Chain A
Amino acid sequence: MISMRNVHKSFGSQKVLDDLCLDIPEGKITAIIGPSGEGKSVLLKHLIGLLQPDSGQVDVDGESIIGLRRSQLNRIREKFGMLFQNVALFDSMTCFENVAFPLQEKTKLSKDEIRRRVLSALEDVGLKNIESKFPDELSGGMKKRVGLARAVVLNPKIILFDEPTTGLDPIIKRAIHQLIKDTHEKFGFTAVIVSHEIPDIFDVAQNVAMLYRGKILQHGSPSEIKNSNHPAVRQFISGSLDGPIHMI
Chain B
Amino acid sequence: MVQALGRVTIGTVRDLGKTGWFLLYSFYMIVRRPGSPVQILKQMRFIGTKSLFVIVLTAAFTGMVLGLQGYYTLAKFGSEGMLGTAVALSLIRELGPVLAALMVTGRAGSAITAEIGIMRISEQIDALETMALDPFKYLVTPKFIAAMISLPLLCAIFDVVGIYGGWLVGVKLLGVNPGAYFYEMEKSVVWRDVYSGVVKSFSFGVIIAWIGCYKGYYAGHGAEGVSRATTESVVLTSVLILVWDYFLTSVLL
Is B132 part of the contact surface with A, judged by Cβ < 8 Å? yes
A84 is contacted by which of B118, B123, B132, B133 (Cβ under 8 Å)?
A: B123
Task: Encode A39-75 as 1/0 by CB contact (under 8 A) with B.
Answer: 0000001001010000000000000000000100011
User: What residue in chain B is nearest A98 (Cβ atoms)?
Assistant: B127
A122, chain B: closest CB distance, angstroms: 18
A205, chain B: closest CB distance, angstroms: 21
A140, chain B: closest CB distance, angstroms: 14
- Give chain A residues whose Cβ lies under 8 Å from the Cβ of B132: 74-75, 77-78, 106
Determine the distance from Cα of A75 to Cα of B133 in the docked complex, in whole angstroms.
10
Is B131 part of the contact surface with A, judged by Cβ < 8 Å? yes
Task: Encode B116-150 as 1/0 by CB contact (under 8 A) with A.
Answer: 00100011101101111110000000000000000
Whether B130 and A82, one on each chain, are in contact in the complex, defined by CB atoms closer than 8 angstroms, is yes
B116, chain A: closest CB distance, angstroms: 12
Known: A80-B130, A106-B132. 4 other contacts (CB 8 A): A50-B130, A89-B124, A90-B124, A105-B133
Is A91 part of the contact surface with B, judged by Cβ < 8 Å? yes
Whether A88 and B131, one on each chain, are in contact in the complex, defined by CB atoms closer than 8 angstroms, is no
Task: Encode B67-85 as 1/0 by CB contact (under 8 A) with A.
Answer: 0000000000000000000
Interface centre among A70, A74, A77, A88 (most CB of B within 10 A): A88
List residues of B whose CB falls within 8 A of some A CB: 118, 122-124, 126-127, 129-134
Interface residues on A, range: 20 to 34
- Give chain B residues whose Cβ lies under 8 Å from the Cβ of A102: 131
- Give chain B residues whose Cβ lies under 8 Å from the Cβ of A101: 131
Is A86 part of the contact surface with B, judged by Cβ < 8 Å? yes
Once A50-B129, A77-B129 are accepted as A-B contacts, the answer to whether A88 and B134 lie under 8 Å apart by CB is: no
Determine the distance from Cα of A91 to Cα of B127 in the docked complex, in whole angstroms.
12
Is A214 part of the contact surface with B, judged by Cβ < 8 Å? no
A81 is contacted by which of B124, B130, B133, B134 (Cβ under 8 Å)?
A: B130
- Give chain B residues whose Cβ lies under 8 Å from the Cβ of A77: 129-132
- Give chain A residues whose Cβ lies under 8 Å from the Cβ of B129: 50, 77
Whether A48 and B131, one on each chain, are in contact in the complex, defined by CB atoms closer than 8 angstroms, is no
- Give chain A residues whose Cβ lies under 8 Å from the Cβ of B122: 86, 88, 91
User: What residue in chain A is nearest B25 (Cβ atoms)?
Assistant: A70
- Would you give 24 A-B contacts (Cβ < 8 Å), ordered by A? A45-B126, A50-B126, A70-B134, A74-B132, A74-B134, A77-B132, A78-B132, A80-B130, A82-B127, A82-B130, A84-B126, A86-B122, A86-B123, A88-B124, A88-B126, A89-B127, A90-B124, A91-B122, A101-B131, A105-B133, A106-B131, A106-B132, A106-B133, A160-B130
Whether B130 and A48, one on each chain, are in contact in the complex, defined by CB atoms closer than 8 angstroms, is yes
Determine the distance from Cα of A137 to Cα of B91 in the docked complex, in whole angstroms.
47
Whether B134 and A91, one on each chain, are in contact in the complex, defined by CB atoms closer than 8 angstroms, is no
B131 is contacted by which of A86, A105, A160 (Cβ under 8 Å)?
A: A105
A-B complex: 4 closest residue pairs judged by Cβ atoms: A74-B132, A88-B123, A77-B132, A88-B127
A223, chain B: closest CB distance, angstroms: 32
User: What residue in chain A is nearest B133 (Cβ atoms)?
Assistant: A105
User: What residue in chain B is nearest A85 (Cβ atoms)?
Assistant: B123
B48, chain A: closest CB distance, angstroms: 19
Whether B134 and A84, one on each chain, are in contact in the complex, defined by CB atoms closer than 8 angstroms, is no
Whether B130 and A90, one on each chain, are in contact in the complex, defined by CB atoms closer than 8 angstroms, is no
- Give chain A residues whose Cβ lies under 8 Å from the Cβ of B130: 48, 50, 77, 80-82, 160
For window 69-118 of A, CB contacts with B under 8 Å fall at 70, 74-75, 77-78, 80-82, 84-86, 88-91, 101-102, 105-106
Determine the distance from Cα of A78 to Cα of B132 in the docked complex, in whole angstroms.
6
User: What residue in chain A is nearest B128 (Cβ atoms)?
Assistant: A90
Determine the distance from Cα of A101 to Cα of B133 in the docked complex, in whole angstroms.
11
Whether A90 and B127, one on each chain, are in contact in the complex, defined by CB atoms closer than 8 angstroms, is yes
- Give chain B residues whose Cβ lies under 8 Å from the Cβ of A160: 130
Determine the distance from Cα of A96 to Cα of B118 in the docked complex, in whole angstroms.
21
- Give chain B residues whose Cβ lies under 8 Å from the Cβ of A88: 122-124, 126-127
Determine the distance from Cα of A70 to Cα of B118 in the docked complex, in whole angstroms.
23
User: What residue in chain B is nearest A93 (Cβ atoms)?
Assistant: B124
B128, chain A: closest CB distance, angstroms: 8
A188, chain B: closest CB distance, angstroms: 20
Determine the distance from Cα of A91 to Cα of B131 in the docked complex, in whole angstroms.
17
Interface centre among A45, A75, A85 (most CB of B within 10 A): A45
- Give chain B residues whose Cβ lies under 8 Å from the Cβ of A74: 132-134
- Give chain B residues whose Cβ lies under 8 Å from the Cβ of A82: 127, 130
A90, chain B: closest CB distance, angstroms: 6
A63, chain B: closest CB distance, angstroms: 15
